[in-house]
Structure 1
Amino acid sequence: MSRPIRVVFLVFYFEAWDALDAIYRGMLADPRFEPMVVSLPRKLTGYDKFRDEKKVSAFLESQGIEHERFKFKKSKDGLARLKELAPDYVFLNYPWQRNYKKNYQIEKLVEFTKVCYVPYFSTSLVQEPGESGVAPHQYTQPTHQLAHMVFLQDADTKAAFDANGRADHSFLTGTPKIDALMAAKTDVPSIWPIVRELPGGKEPFKLLWAPHHSYADRWLNFGHFNDQREPMLAFAQQHPEMDIVFRPHPFLFGTMTDREVMTQEEVDDWRARWDALPNTFTDLGAPLTSILLGSDALLTDGVSFLAEYPLVTGKPAIFWEKSVHWDFSPLGNIAAASTVTVHTMAEVEGAIAQAQEGTLPDRSAEIAALVKAVRPQPASAAQTIIELVAKDFS
């Protein structure tokens, strides 16, 4: 090889950097590669403009990752800089192109480089309404159709790519995200953002509450934060012996206001009342595996945390299930079986009390089945991806 393979990782969805981290670090340690990371702005649901590049950069800095910041007002200037870098490959971990500035969208990238896509999520847990197989949004978007290499977690999605003319561009590798989740218990320090002791030196029980952003039939429909927020605030007030960290999906507040489920004033009022309590905290960016490991229990209405929490901790999530939502996929049913499912606030309180007492129903067999289902091969997904890229370049 006459020169290293130049690879640029374009990042704005830093909340899912763990899908790319091991690939980047593996390439950094490999003389065949010359990787670099670029932080981008983004426009999430509810945003009136592109922003957050500073937040992306701060996260990367906190992880010790050298990176170049694309702070350009006009994305055409960023595109020109990207062309100057002359990457052989560009890695993405986020497929929806509407969240990228127009000159960073895949249609522009494929004009001068090869795009590689690693899904940001750990597992595909949900079916689309009216679909009996893999959800089309997992394989029919421009990212899936234009990427030179797509690295996949499960055989069913690989078969969907194959059936749609993408067999030579899709690869069943597993995902570094799953590998990172599985290794976290031994490799990652736990964190908890509330530091306090109860009288007598006893530690508080640590509950992580993680509501999803989807709320309507148009998309997933698992989230019901608007119904949860006041009962959970009252619960926190009634349980000063318990720490409760609120970990909203990154899109939650933007979706609530953009879809007019809540006004910005209602969001601000609730946040102010929540954050004012001595036993609550709102976490918007702690490393996922660290805060999962720091908790004693997780309460969530979906979706990916249903699988990710047991994979990291070996414990079942408490699944506050909405009465109607999109159907689970076969893998989603395996994940759901590993949870303790509740439907009412009374049931939520009962499950949390069981978690405090160490008497939650045993789900060890179901968690073992989940582990088996999400790992298509024992080898490191990151190293497999690195070798495939090296082979493609040669």
Structure 2
Amino acid sequence: MSRPIRVVFFVFYFEAWDALDAVYRGMLADPRFEPIVVTIPRKLTGYDKFRDEKKMSAYLDAQGISHERFKFKKSKDGLARLKELAPDYVFLNYPWQRNYKKYYQIEHLVEFTKVCYVPYFSTSLVQEPGQEGVAPHQYIQPTHQLSHMVFLQDKDTKAAFDREGRQNAFLTGTPKIDALLAAKDTVEPVWPIHRELQPTQQPFRLLWAPHHSYDQGWLNFGHFSDECEPMLAFARTHPEMDIVFRPHPFLFGTLTDRDIMTQDELDQWRSKWDALPNTFTDLGAPITSILLASDAMVTDGVSFIGEYPLVTGKPAIFWEKPDHWEFSPLGKIAEATTVKVHTMEQVEQAISEAQAGTLPERTEQIAALVHAVRPQPATAAQTIIELVAKDYS
């Protein structure tokens, strides 16, 4: 080998860096590889322009990860710089190409390098309406079709790739799952609200995490507009409790873009929420740190219903919206780990049980989920690294 295998991690979705982190760190420690991280801007739902590269960079700085920042106004210039780096492989953790600048989209990357895709989400939990088995958006997008290698979490999605006649999919598990399962031993719990009710007495710590999907066109799990006022009232009447609001990164943009709430309505609610002494809005801290620090979680979906029990060993309180998209077979295993509620009264009852230590444990269901999401004993990151090395040789 004349030089190490050069791999560029081409990223804007810092909220899911954990899908790539172990692969990057493994390559950094491996003399066969030369990994380089590059940060780029993104345009999420509700954004009027591409932005957030600075957030991605700041996140990596906090993790001590050296990186090159692509702050080019024109993505064509960024593409030219990427070509100068001459990567043998480019790793992505986000599939939807509409959120990338034009010349950072996969059809331009594959002209000069091999693209590898590691899904940013932990598990494929949801089926599309009218479809049986794996949702098509998990395997028919340009990212799936044009990538040289796609590293998958579960055997059902691998079978879907195989049925399409493509040979680019590999069942490895996902580094994200490995990171979630290892978090108890490797991650320091961090809670963003610092107060004591009395000397040595800590408040009960509740994490509230609403999803962004709002209609039958896409997932249909989120119902923040129904949750926000009851949760505000709950926070006001429970000063003994800390409540951290962790919105999906797309939530605010979706609310205004789809005319579910006006910007003024959202701003007014945020102002009231953030003014309380026992609340906090978290927009991007490492999620495993907050999960571990919490005593309970309330969420309307999707991935947190599986991720919370994997990290904490406790069930999520699943505030279920009627008529959401059906769960996949794996999603049903994750759903079984939750405590389901449908009204604010039931939410309050479940939180009260969590405070009292009487919330159902779901121990067997969580063990079944762990078994389902880890297809092999080896870590996904090391498996991916060896597959890339073999492909290069």
TM-score normalized by the length of structure 1: 0.99
Identity across matched positions, percent: 80
**Aligned partners of 1:16 and 1:197: how far apart in 2?**
32
Q: 1: distance between equivalents of 2:12 and 2:199? A: 45
Structure 1 residue 199, shift from structure 2 partner = 2.6
- Using the alignment, how far apart are the partners of 1:248 and 1:165 within structure 2? 38
Give SS of 1:331's match: helix
Partner amino acid for 1:300?
A: T
Q: Paired residue for 1:367?
A: 366
- Structure 2: which amino acid aligns with 1:135? A
Query: How far does residue 133 in structure 1 lie from its aligned partner after superposition?
Result: 1.1
Q: One-letter code of the match for 2:287?
A: L
Give the 3-state SS of the residue equivalent to 2:30 in structure 1.
Answer: coil
Q: 1:2: Cα distance to partner? A: 1.7
- Distance (Å, rounded) in 2 between the aligned partners of 1:73 and 1:132: 43
**Equivalent residue for 2:303?**
304
Task: Tell me which residue corresponds to 1:267.
Answer: 266
Query: Partner of 2:127: helix, strand, or coil?
Result: coil
The one-letter code matched in structure 1 to 2:337 is: S
CA distance in 1 between counterparts of 2:230 and 2:195 reads 24
Query: Partners of 1:34 and 1:142 in 2: how far apart?
Result: 27
In structure 2, the residue corresponding to 1:206 is in which secondary structure?
strand
Cα distance in 2 for residues equivalent to 1:384 and 1:193: 35
Shift, 1:200, TM fit: 4.4
Q: Match of 1:161, SS? A: helix
Aligned residue in 2 for 1:160: 160
Please name the residue that 2:104 is paired with.
104
Which residue matches 2:229?
230
SS in 2 for 1:351: helix
The DSSP-based 3-state class of the residue aligned with 2:290 is: helix
1:124 matched residue in structure 2: 124
RMSD: 0.5
Q: Look up the match of 1:315.
A: 314
Structure 1 Cα separation of the partners of residues 77 and 313 of structure 2 = 47
CA distance in 2, matches of 1:151, 1:115: 11
The corresponding residue for 2:25 is 25
1:310 Cα deviation (Å)?
A: 0.2
Is residue 2:49 matched to residue 1:49? Answer: yes
SS of corresponding position for 1:346: helix
Query: For 2:18, what is the secondary structure of its paired residue?
Result: helix
Counterpart for residue 70 of structure 1: 70
After TM superposition, the structure 1 = structure 2 runs for residues 187-226 of structure 1, keeping only pairs within 5 Å, are: 187-226=186-225
**In structure 1, C-alpha distance between the alignment counterparts of 2:139 and 2:40, rounded to whole Å:** 24
| SS of residue matched to 2:165 | coil
In the other structure, the counterpart of 2:172 is 173
Partner residue of 1:252? 251
Structure 1 residues not aligned, in runs of 5+: none
Amino acid in structure 1 at the alignment position of 2:190? I
Cα offset, 1:5, TM superposition: 0.2
Counterpart CA distance in 2 for 1:311 and 1:200 is 32
- How far the C-alpha of 1:324 sits from its partner, in A, is 1.4
CA–CA separation in structure 2 for the residues paired with 1:362 and 1:38: 42
Q: 1:138 aligned to 2:138?
A: yes
In the aligned structure 1, how far is the partner of 2:335 from the partner of 2:290?
A: 21
Partners of 1:266 and 1:201 in 2: CA distance: 38
Instruction: Tell me which residue corresponds to 1:151.
Output: 151
Distance 2:250 2:60 in 1: 20
CA distance in 1: counterparts of 2:270 and 2:245, whole angstroms: 10
Deviation by residue 1:58-108 (Cα, 9 ceiling, x = unmatched): 001000000000000000000000000000000000000000000000000
Whole-angstrom distance in 1 between the partners of 2:31 and 2:235: 52
Partner of 2:12 in structure 1?
12
- Gapped runs of 5+ residues in structure 2? none
**What CA deviation, in whole Å up to 9, does each residue of 1:226-258 have, x standing for no partner?**
000000000000000000000000000000000
Shift of 1:48: 0.3
SS in 1 for 2:376: coil
Q: Indicate yes or no: 2:329 matched with 1:330.
A: yes
Give me the whole-angstrom Cα distance separating, in 1, the residues matched to 2:320 and 2:7.
41
Q: 2: CA distance between counterparts of 1:160 and 1:89?
A: 24
